[in-house]
Amino acid sequence: MNEYQIVSVISLIGFLILALGALRTHRLDLRRTLIMAGAWVAIFGIAVLFVDAIS
pLDDT 10s digits, 3-51: 888 888 899 899 988 987 887 788 878 788 788 889 989 998 999 899 8
**What pLDDT does 27 receive?**
80
What range defines the domain where residue 9 resides?
3-54
Quote the pLDDT of residue 22.
82
Q: Write down the pLDDT at residue 33.
A: 78
Question: What integer pLDDT is reported at residue 49 of this predicted model?
Answer: 92
Q: For residue 3, what pLDDT is reported? A: 80
Q: Is the distance from CB of 48 to CB of 15 less than 8 angstroms?
A: no
Contact assessment for residue 20 and residue 37, using Cβ atoms and an 8 Å cutoff: yes
**Confidence at residue 14, expressed as pLDDT on a 0 to 100 scale:** 93
- In total, how many domains does the chain have? 1
